Amino acid sequence: MDLDSRTMATSLYHDSFENSQPTALGPPAYDGENLHRPSPSPTVQVGGPAGLTELLTPEFELQTIVISTAFNPETHETEPDIIFSSSDCVLFYVDTQTITRTSPNAFQELISAFHYGGAENDTPAGLRTIIPISESSVVLNIILHSLYASPCTQHSPPFRALVEAVYNMPLYGISPGTHITRTTYLYAALLAYAPIYPLVLYTLAGQHKIHDLAVATSSHLLSCSFFSITDEMAERMGSIYLKRLLELHLGRFNSLKELVLSPPPPHLPTKDCSLIDQKGLTRAWALVSAYLVWDARADLSTHNMKLAFSALTKDVTCKECNNCLEYKLQEVIMKWASVKRTI
């Protein structure tokens, strides 16, 4: 092998996200069953923290090798003892004690296979062996940041990469639920996308039983049509979380009906407004209520509710009737605002 002819960026601590070009949203390639575990070999060997010194496998020839900015030999206080290589040839220097602190099985199958394969024993002094990981650098970066309990949002990873990282965590012995809690960076990064991709996020949370994330996401699903839930999504999120979402919508529909179907109470008859006169307001209220219930949406805002009923005040000339209407409207809006918005 002509070592001089290789293309290597030995000292470039390259941002590993530049090559990421997420396309469309959708379920990640990992289907939860067909796990294509990356082989622990072949490996390449590189030198110590000073940089790459030698490449031993042909497939790495003519490829630019870059090193993660976040996981290079000098990033962390703990000395890295292993190097992962992403599918797009970005190197990540990591410390096994750190990555197994919260996830004892993290990458252990790959590391063990590597050890039992004797590759480490054959490694010349001063050289390190690289374990290839079948993930893009963007996805691997998210997984490692999660294990290190550090934020992965510095380079704004796309939603698709975040989802793929979570779905693929079990491939490497990592439980997503352990690393996605209300206090973790990954939880915050995922939840930031809830207003845009609530259904995908809820599906992910349901599949991995990440309850807090499912609850927080569910408030963004009030406008979700159940027709938009595909069979695959329903299967992934599971019957429990599908049922909870259904109960959320039905519960809000029922609350809306209870709130608006009773009209404003009548006031005592006066010489200008008898009980018969007041039936006009009752009928008008019933019409608006029927419209709201017929078009019932779990995401009906208090603003729109107020707009619908406020139109009635234009035709009511009796001051007492107007007071009753105002009182009823305020009561309905206040109660509707307090109806549960999450599973």
* Nearest residue to 187 (alpha-carbon basis) of 216, 220, 224: 216
Least Å from the CB of residue 238 to Zn ion: 54
Q: Binding to Zn ion by residue 326, rule CB under 5 A?
A: no
DSSP 8-state assignment for residue 154: G
Cis peptide before 42 (omega within 30 of 0): yes
Stretch that binds Zn ion, among 213-221, 235-243, 249-257, 321-329 (CB under 5 A): 321-329
Single out the residue of 320, 335, 341, 342 in contact with Zn ion (rule: CB under 5 A). 320
Q: Binding to Zn ion by residue 325, rule CB under 5 A?
A: no
Q: Is 3 in a helix, a strand, or coil?
A: helix
Site string for Zn ion, 260-299 (x = CB under 5 A): -------------x--------------------------
> Residues 81, 95: contact at Cβ < 8 Å?
yes
Determine how many CB atoms are found less than 10 A away from the CB of residue 237. Answer: 23
Site string for Zn ion, 187-206 (x = CB under 5 A): --------------------
Site string for Zn ion, 69-108 (x = CB under 5 A): ----------------------------------------
How many residues bind Zn ion (CB under 5 A)? The answer is 4
Least Å from the CB of residue 267 to Zn ion: 6
Rg (CA), the chain: 30
Stretch that binds Zn ion, among 129-137, 247-255, 296-304, 312-320 (CB under 5 A): 312-320
Stretch that binds Zn ion, among 58-66, 74-82, 183-191, 319-327 (CB under 5 A): 319-327
Least Å from the CB of residue 310 to Zn ion: 17
Closest to Zn ion by CB, 216 vs 273, is 273
DSSP 286-318: HHHHHHHHHT--TT--HHHHHHHHHGGGGG---
Kindly state the helix (H) or strand (E) to which residue 134 belongs, with its residue range. none
Least Å from the CB of residue 276 to Zn ion: 11
Site string for Zn ion, 215-254 (x = CB under 5 A): ----------------------------------------
Q: Binding to Zn ion by residue 318, rule CB under 5 A?
A: yes
Q: How far apart are CA 29 and CA 4, in angstroms?
A: 38
Closest to Zn ion by CB, 15 vs 320, is 320
DSSP 8-state assignment for residue 155: G
Kindly state the helix (H) or strand (E) to which residue 118 belongs, with its residue range. none
> Residues 109, 131: contact at Cβ < 8 Å?
no
Least Å from the CB of residue 270 to Zn ion: 7
Q: Which residues are within 8 A (CB) of 22 and not within 5 positions of it... i.e. 6 or more apart?
A: 158, 159, 160, 161
Long-range contacts of 91-96 (CB under 8 A, 24+ apart): 91/46, 91/65, 91/66, 91/67, 91/130, 92/67, 92/68, 92/137, 92/140, 92/141, 92/144, 93/49, 93/67, 93/68, 94/144
Least Å from the CB of residue 329 to Zn ion: 15
Least Å from the CB of residue 283 to Zn ion: 14
> Residues 260, 293: contact at Cβ < 8 Å?
yes
Q: How far apart are CA 114 and CA 78, in angstroms?
A: 22
Least Å from the CB of residue 320 to Zn ion: 4
Closest to Zn ion by CB, 200 vs 281, is 281
Q: Binding to Zn ion by residue 312, rule CB under 5 A?
A: no
Q: Binding to Zn ion by residue 321, rule CB under 5 A?
A: yes
Closest to Zn ion by CB, 133 vs 281, is 281
Q: How far apart are CA 243 and CA 222, in angstroms?
A: 14
Least Å from the CB of residue 25 to Zn ion: 55
Binding site for Zn ion (CB under 5 A): 273, 318, 320-321
